Amino acid sequence: MNKEIFKSYDIRGIFPEQLNNDTALKIGQAFIDLTKAKKVAIAFDARLSGNDLFKHLVSGITSQGADVFDIGQMPTECLYFAVANYDFDAGIMITASHNPKEYNGFKMLVKNGTEINIIRGKELLTVALAGNFKEAEIKGKILQKNIVKDYLDYVFKFVNFNKIKPLKIVVDCSNGVAGNIFKEMGDRLKNEIFLLNYEPDGNFPNHSPNPLMEGSINNARDEIKKEKADLAFIFDGDADRIFMLDENGKMIRADLTLLLLAKHFLNKYPASNIAYNAICSKAVPEFIKQWGGQAIRTQVGFVNVRDGLLKNNGVMGGELSGHYCFRDYFYLDSGLMAFLSLLEVISAENKLVSELIKELSIYANGGEINFKIENKEEILNKIKEKYSDGKQDFLDGITVEYADWWFNARASNTEPLLRLTIEANTPEILEAKKLELSKLITE
């Protein structure tokens, strides 16, 4: 068994070199040993290895006497809904999210009373390595469960469709599983929707399942121009991440999309807490405070944003990866809830998307820059010393703030990379500081 596939948040690796059928079986056994679950919901995305992994994972689960409820090829958020809404004890999503097609993996949940807890990959590793699994005298059963109508009814009850204007919308499903949901929506949404790459295909023939990869926005951008659409959305492979494009086909940075959502939810639930992570724009906490909310700053990573939401009874949260989680959705992420809420926001503002974003883009932001280096801690110490005259904090890596600019430098948990985010009051300061820091890191 390859220990490297057991990540901080989930299990993920290349099939079958790193993650294979035998490992899937052991993971199924270990999952029941760890959670003591009796009823486990399972869904899978469009990946070509999904069927093989499903069979062996299920074999491991049922060998321990637990029943499996197959909810089919669905977005990850549908698994969340199934575990929260029905009498299941736990759930596993077979997915590698936005990774390239040769990858696959497992996202795992367990229900404790009314709480949904995420099982981290590393939590399962010790149990899986022990491997002392005794088969149950009575094997578990495999049953089917169709959740789509209940799921759509649940999400739609949080949306005021009367407030959504007849916007022309492009939706690119990236040949992932979002298309399965949009095909089931029927006429619930009255907008004119131009659906792209909606057939699930694990080869991802049209572009990467990661919307942030170069070329991923081309289909949507071209369709906006062709149909004179008002905006576009792109979902990732398992549809839990969503990105927005304006009427010109420009990708909107996810922390600015977070601000649109924050404004909407603060209107619905005044004076609420909104979670964001340490590399989001400084504009995020500033606008949240201006709109009467409380900004909760967390470490990078969806699980950390969710923890911040839970601990502070927040109403919603988000981060630059395009994950948005909601109190109304079991404190978990929902691409569909984000999609529908953004349609309400844009309809209410009665402005072009580009105009809305311009109002929120009050700083020059350089995005995240990655440096391939091995001596990450040494470099971080050097940065700490050089910028000791700034306001420093160490929530995630090192963040240093000055009057007219700030930056965050942090080490990747999984790769020999140092990640750098810089934001400044002007483009000129941004470029100067980018050059200064890059020189310090690479010398």
pLDDT in tens, 390-434: 999 999 999 999 999 999 999 987 678 999 999 999 999 999 999
**Given 49, 63, 97, 334, which residue is catalytic?**
97
Q: What is the dihedral of CA 122, 123, 127, 130, to 10 degrees?
A: 40
Bridge partners (DSSP) listed for residue 391 = 401
Q: Are 77 and 239 in contact (CB under 8 A)?
A: yes
Q: Are 224 and 191 in contact (CB under 8 A)?
A: no
Per-residue pLDDT, 415: 77
One-letter amino acid for residue 195 of the chain: L
Catalytic status, residue 59: no
Establish how many alpha carbons lie within 13 A of residue 355's alpha carbon, considering only the half-sphere containing its beta carbon. Answer: 6
Preceding omega of 209 cis (within 30 degrees of 0): no
Per-residue pLDDT, 258: 98
Per-residue pLDDT, 443: 86
Alpha carbon 84 to its chain centroid, in Å, reads 18
pLDDT in tens, 147-169: 999 999 999 999 999 999 999 99
Per-residue pLDDT, 374: 87
Per-residue pLDDT, 385: 98
Q: Sign of the CA dihedral 52, 55, 58, 59?
A: negative
Q: Encoding tokens for residue 434?
A: 């980018």
Per-residue pLDDT, 413: 73
CA distance 45 to 175: 10
CA neighbor of 268 nearest in space, from 152, 163, 153: 163
With residue 392 as reference, give the H or E element that holds it. strand 391-393
CA distance 247 to 225: 8
Establish how many alpha carbons lie within 13 A of residue 363's alpha carbon, considering only the half-sphere containing its beta carbon. Answer: 25
Q: Could you tell me the CA-to-CA distances from 213 to 236, 261, 408, 418 in Å, in that order?
A: 11, 24, 22, 19
Per-residue pLDDT, 389: 98
CA distance 301 to 282: 18
CA distance 202 to 356: 36
Q: Are 12 and 144 in contact (CB under 8 A)?
A: no
Domains and CATH numbers, the chain: 3-146 (3.40.120.10), 151-245 (3.40.120.10), 364-442 (3.30.310.50)
Q: What are phi and psi of 333, to 5 degrees?
A: -90, 145
Pairing mode of beta strands 324-326, 332-333 = antiparallel
Q: Are 407 and 421 in contact (CB under 8 A)?
A: yes
Q: What are phi and psi of 415, to 5 degrees?
A: -135, 160
In the chain, the N- to C-terminal Cα span, in Å, equals 39
Q: Which residues of the chain have pLDDT under 50?
A: none
CA distance 348 to 264: 9
